[in-house]
Amino acid sequence: MNLSQIDFLAAAAAATAVMMCGITGIQTQFRFLALQTALFSGICLLEGFSSHGQHMAQFIILAAVVLIVKAAGIPLFLMWAANKMSIIRDKGNTASPPVTLIMAFGAIAAGYFLIPQFAVYSAGNPVSAGMAVALLFIGMIFMVTRRLAISQVTGFLIIENGIFLYGLTQAKGMPHLVEMAVVFEALIAVLIAGLVILRINRNFEHIDVTQMRGLRH
């Protein structure tokens, strides 16, 4: 199979997501998240070049916004929050990180097999569609298997990236305004979630979601 440049970057992003599943260190996870999002910024640029100058400027602006807000801003904020709460590791809940790693590979495989169902062939880059679906699954797996509330945010961002990737590579007609709005929405969501987690940490002295069952009573 001939991978286009965009497909290659998408696959690389999916690979970073798989790696995140195998990592317990919170700060490293955020670095990988930043890397993953930076790859999307690259995809944005490539899309701009492939549109033959038609929407070039808009794509470049989008790429810059993604790079600044999502690839730098959000991970830095999360790193700051994790530092403030002095969290170092998330060892996982039901499945240990190595098991999660294998599940994430499964998700990549599932995404690959779902390419015919999801890809918009006229848009080119069919592999990106599969990788987007794989990111969706990996984000879910990440959220379900991690123990700390801040990892739920990370998982959410992986899912968000998957949807962003799908929109970017498959639906050519997506207005840039919408893409920008989504980026800022994600920022706001993460800010709110981060602040809530900080507050939870202050009140309960932990952010372990498995312990939050007690809140029901």
Residues of this chain that interact with other proteins (CB under 8 A) are 93-94, 114, 117-118, 133, 136, 140-141, 143-144, 152, 209-210, 212-213, 215-216
Give the DSSP letter of residue 14: H
Query: 89 φ, ψ to 5°?
Result: -130, 150
CB of 8 to other proteins, least distance (A): 25
Contact 34, 154 (CB under 8 A): no
Cα diameter, the chain: 60
Half-sphere exposure of 153 (CA within 13 A, CB side): 27
CB of 213 to other proteins, least distance (A): 5
Angle, helix 56-65 to helix 176-204, in steps of 10 degrees: 0
**For other proteins, which is the closer residue by CB, 74 or 133?**
133
**For other proteins, which is the closer residue by CB, 122 or 210?**
210
**For other proteins, which is the closer residue by CB, 52 or 216?**
216
CB of 65 to other proteins, least distance (A): 28
**For other proteins, which is the closer residue by CB, 61 or 144?**
144
3-class state of residue 89 by DSSP: strand
CB of 43 to other proteins, least distance (A): 23
Looking up tokens 């640029």, which residue turns up? 45
